[in-house]
Amino acid sequence: MQNKRSGSLTLVPYYVWIALFVIAPIILVGYYSLLDLEGNFTFENYKNFLTPVYLKMTLSSFWYAFLITLFCLVVSYPAAFIISRLKNKQLWLMLIIIPSWINLLLKTYAFIGILGQSGPINAFLSAIGLEKQQMLFTSASFVFVSVYIFIPFMILPIFNSIDKLSPALLDASRDLGASRLYTLRRVMIPLTMDGIKAGIQAVFIPALSLFMITRLIAGNHVITLGTAIEQQFLVTQNWGMGSTIAVFLIIFMFIIMAFTGEKRKKGASRRDKN
């Protein structure tokens, strides 16, 4: 489409952007993580991170991010498949995407009302003669609301890869005697792996650093690394410690990217040949 020279010229804005808004901030975060409150050079922040409080927090961040991603995947994969087989699939897809246009905070506040003691769910429970349930401020409600918020980000990439998958392949598999489950396991999932990986990336990484929702929906019963960063920067104004947590978060993210991103190219080229 383009010759090489104009190609490299059009890449200049991209490189400038990456340098200014990706590389430079990461270097700054790394720099600040080595400073104490008075601005002196120190490794104290890293030592502090490797104490039980922060390690436990890291563990629970990963656990909840894992749960959120898992539930998102379990809901999104069948949903994306069904949508891709519908007549007005773009319209249905649109209906799922629209909620993601609404501000995150507004959606969260809406859930405070829905899940509260005087909310519609508890009103319904007491109307049919059941006892009211404490739903707000539990880790279950935190996972539920987060899954709701992240589902569009999981469905989109999965839908795209399922949509590109030729139905003929599934038919062929069935004709050759594979069971439904076997077809799903050996044909469909491997061929849509790119979408699944992209979806996991789009959900797991932001889920790792969620904050706000941990307070509003979980009432601080769930503490993630994101919560700790927010507190270090805004309340304690200890930029060093906040940056140190951020450094670890960035490292974790790179690891996840490496795991979910590496084989993608191979998968893509294989499919291109099809």
Partner 1 sequence: MKNLVKAIIAIAVVCAALMYLVNSLDKTSSQGGTDILTVYNWGEYIDPALLKKFEKETGIQVIYETFDSNEAMITKVDQGGTNYDIAIPSEYTIEQMKQKDLLLPVDHSKIPNLKNIDEDFLDLDFDKKNEYSIPYFWGTVGIVYNPKMLKKDLDFTSWDQLWDPSLKGEVLLVDSAREVMGMSLNSMNLSLNSTDSTELNKATDKLIKLSPNVKAVIGDEVTQLMVNGDAPAALTWSGQAADMMYDNEDLTYSVPNEGSNLWFDNMVIPKTSKNVEGAHKFINFMLDPENAAQNADYVGYSTPNKAALKLLDPEVIHDERYYPSAEVRKNLHVYKDLGKEKIGEYNELFLKFKMSLQ
- Contact residues for partner 1, defined by CB under 8 A: 37, 53, 56-57, 112, 116-118, 134, 136-137, 215-216, 218-221, 223, 228, 231-232, 234-238, 241
Cβ at position 145, least distance to partner 1 in Å: 14
- The residue among 50 and 86 lying less far from partner 1, judged by its C-beta, is 50
Cβ at position 250, least distance to partner 1 in Å: 21
Cβ at position 130, least distance to partner 1 in Å: 18
- The residue among 77 and 239 lying less far from partner 1, judged by its C-beta, is 239
- The residue among 57 and 253 lying less far from partner 1, judged by its C-beta, is 57
- The residue among 154 and 229 lying less far from partner 1, judged by its C-beta, is 229
Residue 222: exposure state from Cβ atoms within 10 A (0-12, 13-18, ≥19): buried
- Region label for 212, one of left (φ > 0), alpha (ψ between -120 and 50) or beta (otherwise): left
Cβ at position 218, least distance to partner 1 in Å: 8
Determine the Cα angle at 155 with ends 171 and 78, to 5°.
45
| b/e per residue 2-29 (b: at least 16 CB within 10 A) | eeeeeeeeeeeeeeeeeeeeeeeeeeeb
Cβ at position 101, least distance to partner 1 in Å: 15
- The residue among 8 and 134 lying less far from partner 1, judged by its C-beta, is 134
Both structure tokens of 59: 């563990």
Contact of 212 with 105, CB cutoff 8 Å: yes
Contact of 39 with 117, CB cutoff 8 Å: no
Work out whether the CA dihedral 171, 172, 176, 181 comes out positive or negative: negative
- The residue among 35 and 202 lying less far from partner 1, judged by its C-beta, is 35
Radius of gyration of the chain (CA): 23
Cβ at position 131, least distance to partner 1 in Å: 14
